[in-house]
Amino acid sequence: MNKDFVLFNLREAHQALQRIIGDIESQPDYAYGEYIVEMTHLYHHVNTAWNEQNVNSERAKKCNEEDFFKWRQFPKDDIDLSK
């Protein structure tokens, strides 16, 4: 597991989630558009943390455009719970 990159993305997701919660709690006029933008950002990091967990550091650092869009997608693979 590429823990450095997983942790980076999970920390980014954590910060995004805290920001969303704080904004909703503190802004009575918090808009749907803001919510969509922030949730998209949150899911980008959660999905990337999952999808790049087994990518070596060199490839993760290079992250070409194809990788970027592939890794941010909702996972479609089966989860192996035997690990």
The 10s digit of each residue's pLDDT in 16-64 is: 999 999 999 999 999 999 999 999 999 999 999 998 888 878 887 887 8
pLDDT of residue 15: 98
Tokens for 38, please give them.
């922030």
Neighbours of 9 (CB within 10 A): 23
Amino acid identity, position 16? A
3-state secondary structure of 22: helix
Tell me the domain boundaries of the chain: 3-71
